């Protein structure tokens, strides 16, 4: 479904991604783990067309999207919940969700999707007229995921969804990620520093160090790998 081939990305003269090759099939949950500054967020921004690669190729369902405009990429069905969630702080919860559905035209279906999400997250329904910036971290997380789902993505990119959240909310988030994957058949690419969590929900994963993919294997094998244990699992 998604294929990155020898992708190289630069910020000015600094190379952030070196020869990155990643492949994700339809219906999978795949994780990308690595420490802070490894290049995980840059990988997602490259896929979304925010930081286009200098060389290499990105294919989505066989179509090259390497140098496509971000809005075209969204319209093909790729959506990202970025690091830090980036809720529009002065837009209401409803307006944030509207923005998630920005490229859709099917009004009645949009309304139904919104009702569905409000059922899933009753707290959001209660706060629908409140500004996004006034929500708690956990509520913002639910809103960020809902906003992405409003676009009905085929591929959902999640950047460190566990970051800065209470354990209970992290647990809930990962339950929802699993639910989205099984119920909506949405393919998920999950970026995490918390390797333990990520490898439990994903079937397989990639390890990134200094802008390079250094290892890829099934989650089971990665969890058992001595190097991964030392570097990312804390024992």
Partner 1 sequence: MDYFLGLFLGGLTRGSIYALIALGYTMVYGIIELINFAHGEIYMIGAFTALIVISVLTLMGMNTIAILVIAGVIAVVYSSAYGYTLEKIAYKPLRAAPRLSALISAIGMSLFLQNYVLLAQTSDFLPFPNLVPDFEFMEPYAHIIGSAEIVILITTAIVMILLTILIKFTNIGKAMRAASQDKTMALLVGINVNRVISFTFVVGSATAAIGGVLIASHIGMINFYIGFIAGIKAFVAAVLGGIGSIPGAVLGGFVLGWTESFATGYISSDYEDVFAFLFLVLILIFRPQGILGRSDKHKA
Could you list the residues that contact ligand ADP (CB under 6 A)? 11, 14, 16, 34, 36-42
Q: Which of residues 161-190 bind Mg ion (CB under 5 A)?
A: none
147 interacts with partner 1 by CB under 8 A: yes
CB 40 → Mg ion: shortest distance, Å?
5
Cα–Cα distance for residue pair 144/132, rounded to 1 Å: 10
Q: Which one, 118 or 206, has the nearer CB to ligand ADP?
A: 206
Q: Which one, 26 or 69, has the nearer CB to partner 1?
A: 69
Q: Which one, 38 or 117, has the nearer CB to Mg ion?
A: 38
Q: Which of residues 89-108 bind partner 1 (CB under 8 A)?
A: 89-91, 95, 98-100, 102-103
Q: Which of residues 48-77 bind partner 1 (CB under 8 A)?
A: 48-50, 69-71, 74-75
CB 35 → ligand ADP: shortest distance, Å?
7
Binding partner at 34 among partner 1, Mg ion, ligand ADP, none, C-beta below 5 to 8 Å by kind = ligand ADP
Pair 186, 2: CB distance under 8 Å: no
Cα–Cα distance for residue pair 84/24, rounded to 1 Å: 24
CB 220 → partner 1: shortest distance, Å?
33
If you compute the radius of gyration of the chain from its CA atoms, what whole number of angstroms results? Answer: 17
41 interacts with Mg ion by CB under 5 A: yes
Query: What residue ranges bind partner 1 (CB under 8 A)?
Result: 48-50, 69-71, 74-75, 79-80, 82, 86, 88-91, 95, 98-100, 102-103, 147, 151
């Amino acid at each position: 479904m998604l294929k990155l081939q020898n992708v190289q990305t630069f910020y000015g003269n600094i190379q952030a991604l070196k020869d990155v090759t990643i492949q994700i099939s339809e219906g999978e949950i795949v994780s990308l783990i690595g420490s802070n500054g490894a290049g995980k967020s840059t990988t997602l921004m490259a896929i979304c067309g925010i930081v286009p690669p200098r060389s290499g190729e990105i294919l989505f369902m066989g179509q090259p999207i390497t140098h496509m405009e971000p809005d075209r990429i969204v319209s093909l069905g790729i959506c990202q919940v970025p690091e830090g969630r980036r809720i529009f702080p002065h837009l209401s919860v409803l307006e944030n969700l509207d923005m998630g559905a920005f490229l859709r035209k099917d009004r009645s279906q949009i309304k139904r999707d919104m009702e569905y999400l409000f059922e899933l997250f009753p707290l959001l329904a209660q706060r629908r007229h409140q500004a996004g910036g006034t929500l708690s971290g956990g509520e913002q997380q639910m809103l960020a995921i809902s906003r992405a789902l409003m676009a009905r993505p085929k591929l959902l990119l999640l950047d460190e969804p566990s970051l800065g959240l209470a354990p209970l909310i992290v647990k809930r988030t990962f339950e929802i990620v699993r639910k989205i994957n099984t119920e909506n058949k949405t393919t998920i690419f999950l970026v995490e520093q918390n390797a333990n969590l990520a490898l439990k929900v994903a079937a397989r994963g990639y390890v990134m160090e200094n802008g390079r993919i250094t290892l890829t294997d099934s989650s089971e094998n990665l969890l058992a790998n001595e190097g991964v244990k030392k570097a990312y699992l804390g024992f």
